[in-house]
Structure 1
Amino acid sequence: MNLSDKKILVTGGAGFIGSNLCEVLLEKKNRVVCLDNFATGKRENVKDLQSNPNFKLIEGDIRNLEDCKVAVSKVDYVLHQAALGSVPRSIKDPITTNDVNVSGFLNMLVASRDAGVKRFVYAASSSTYGDSESLPKVEDVIGKPLSPYAITKYVNELYADVFSKTYGLETVGLRYFNVFGRKQDPNGAYAAVIPKFVKQFMNGKSPVINGDGNYSRDFTYIDNVIQANILALVTNNPKAVNTVYNVAFGERNTLNELVGYLREVLSKLDPSINNVKIEYGPNRQGDIPHSLASINKAEKLLNYKPQFSLQKGLKEAVQWYWENL
C-alpha cells in the first residue's frame, strides 16, 4: 500500500473518520488538505496535526462551490468524508441533510472534475441497502431507502457513476458499515452506539438498547476503514474503479452481544461496571433489523484484508476512551 508524496484533500477532515485518515496520510509522508466547517467535526481532532508543515486546514463548507474549488486546487486525490450523518437527524431535518449530502457532494464532484483530480474516493453507506432483507449484503442487490439519509447516500453513488461515465472522473464509493473507534464522539443526540455506551458504562449509567437487543450489525473498526480508503487510492486495476464496495469486517453481532463485550472489556478497568444494569427502549424509526456485509468484492478487487474484528477493535477503542474521556 505505497502512498506517499501526494497531495490529498480530506473533506470532513476534522471528523471521526476524516481526522484518522489525515493522520495516517501524513505518517505516509503526503501533503494533506483538510476541509471542514466544524458542524460536526472537532478542532481537537486535528489540533496535533497543525504543527505539521504538510498539513493545511481550510475552514469551509462543501455547500459553497468556491470553498470546494479552493480546497481541490492542485490536489491529486480526494477522500470525501464530509456529510451529515445519522438516520434520526435526517428524519428530523431532511432539508439540511440533503443540502450537505447531495448538493455538497455534487459541488465536490464538479470542483474535482474541473481541477483534474486523479481519483475521487467517497464515503458511501450501508444504509443504501434499505429494506432489502437479503444477507449478507452484496453490492448490486439493494432495496428501497428507509430514511432521508439513506436516500442522500444512494444519490451520491448515482452522481459518482454519472461523473465517471460522462466526464471520466475516476470514482470509488466505500459503503461503510457501523464504523467505530478512536475519536468517535460519545456526546450529543446523534452519537453512535459504541462511544455512547462506553461513556454511559464509564459513568455508571445504564445504556439503553433500542428494541430487544437482537438487531445485529457488522461493526467495523476504524483501521479497517483506513485500509480500504488507501487501497481505493492506490489500486491500478481498471476494474477496481468506478464502482462501490462494502467496507466491513464481514461478521455480525447483536446489540446484546456488543454490550456484553463492552462490559467485559470495561470491567477489567473498573470492576464496578459489572453491576451496571442494561435498559431496553422502543425500536428506532428507520433502523434496519440486521446488517451483514459480503466483503468478497473488496477482497478480490482491492485486496482488502480487514484486521480488526469487533472484539479486537473494542479493546483498542475502549482503551482510547479510557485515556481521553
Structure 2
Amino acid sequence: MDKYLITGGAGFIGSHIAESIRSQGHKVVVVDNLRTGFTKNIAHLDVDFVEGDIRDKELMLDLASDAKGIFHLAALVSVPESLQKISECLQINVEGTLNVLDAARETSGCKLILSSSAAIYGNNPQLPKVEHMLPEPLTPYAMTKLDGEFYLRMYSDQWNVPTASLRYFNVFGPRQNPDSAYAAAVPIFIQKALLNEAITIYGDGQQTRDFVYVKDVVAANMFALEKGTEVYNVALGHSATILELAERIISITGSKSHITFKPERAGDVKHSQADVAKFQSLGFVPKYDLNSALVETIAFYEQELLKK
C-alpha cells in the first residue's frame, strides 16, 4: 500500500483524485483548509483528513513523510478574488507551493503533480494553445500558477525532485459547486435547467471553451504520476461554444428553460482550445466526450436536487 498526499483534497477535483486512489487500495491523506472544499466531498471515503493550510510548512513536511506522490491542488482558485486579494494569492499559491515542494524534496522518490491552469495563456489569440507559447498571464491567479510551474522545474533541476505540471482547461463534473460566487458555467447551467429557470449567457454565446470531464482530469493526474516530467495541457483538444453548451444541457435534461443574453463581461477570454499532442504523445487520451460527460454530470445534480 502506497501513501499519497492530496492538498485541496476536499475540493471538486481533489476529492475525485482521492476517490480514485482509494479505489486502488492506497493510503490517502487529504489536507484542506475548507476555504472552497467541503468535508461532504470525501465523507464517503476512507481517507485521513487534516484541516490545515499549505502555508504551514511544518505541517506539510509532516504530512508528506513517506508519501510516494503529492497531488497539489490547494490554491486560491478564483480569478476575481485573486485580483481583490493579491497578497493572499501570492502567499497561498506561491509560498504555499514552495512549502509543498520542500516537503516533496525531503521525501525520497516523492513526485509532485501540480494542478496548473490554461489561464496562463491569457488573451493570446493563437489557437490551439500549445505549451511552448509565450505565457501571457493577466491576473494574480494565472501569474502564480505560472510561478508554480517554474518552481517545479527549478526543484527538479536543482534537487532532482520528480515533478509534472498539468494545465487544465475548463474542467466540469460532479461536486462542482454551482452556488459559489465564482461558479463555472456548467454547474450553473445544469442547475438552472433542472429547475426550468432561465439560463443567462454573457455576450453572444459564440465564445468557445475546451471542456474536459473531471474523471479525465483524474486519469491525467494518475498518468502523470507514472509518466511525464514537464508541462502538459489537459483538455479534449476541441471546443464548444457557450451557446452550444447551454442548448445541449437543455436538450439532455428536457428542460423548459430559455436562454437569455446579457452584455459581455470585461476580461472574459473569447476563445479557448488546447493542443493536446504533447500529452497524447506520452500515451494519455481522454475517455469522455462532451455529451457522455454531461449526461453523467446531470445525473449527479438530479440526485442532489432530490436530497433537498
The alignment's TM-score, normalised by the length of structure 2, stands at 0.96
Aligned residues: 305
Instruction: Tell me the residue number matched to 2:34.
Output: 38
- 2:297 aligns with 317
Q: C-alpha displacement at 1:96, in angstroms?
A: 2.1
- CA shift digits 1:27-55 (9 cap, x unpaired): 01111111111010001001111xx3xx2
SS of the counterpart of 1:39?
Answer: coil
Partners in 1 of 2:133 and 2:15 — Cα distance? Answer: 31
Structure 1, residues 263-303: CA drift from partner, whole Å, max 9, x if none? 01111xxxxx23x22122232333211110111111112x1
Secondary structure at the aligned position of 1:115 is classed as coil
1:121 aligns with 2:101: no
- Pairing of 1:1-325 with structure 2 (within 5 A): 5-49=1-45, 52=46, 55-235=47-227, 240-241=228-229, 243-267=230-254, 273-274=255-256, 276-301=257-282, 303-325=283-305
Q: TM-score w.r.t. structure 1 length?
A: 0.91
Gaps of 5+ in 1: 268-272
SS of the residue aligned with 2:37? coil
Encode CA deviations 1:227-282: one digit per residue, 9 max, x unaligned.
Answer: 111111122xxxx31x1000001110010000011101111xxxxx23x2212223
List alignment gaps of at least 5 residues for structure 2.
none
RMSD of aligned C-alpha atoms? 1.3
Please tell me whether the aligned partners of residues 88 and 286 of structure 1 are also in contact (alpha carbons under 8 angstroms). Answer: no
- Cα distance in 1 between the residues matched to 2:271 and 2:22: 36
For 1:142 and 1:183, locate their aligned partners in 2 and report how far apart those are by CA, in whole Å. 33
CA distance in 1, matches of 2:194, 2:76: 27
User: Which shows bigger deviation, 59-68 or 141-150?
Assistant: 141-150
Task: Kindly provide the CA deviation profile for residues 149-208 of structure 1, in whole angstroms up to 9, marking residues without a partner as x.
Answer: 111111111111111111110110000011000111111201111111111222232222
- Once the two structures are TM-superposed, the CA of residue 216 in structure 1 deviates from its matched residue by 0.3
- Map of 1:270 onto structure 2: none
Provide the rounded CA distance (Å) in 1 between the counterparts of 2:90 and 2:196.
Answer: 37
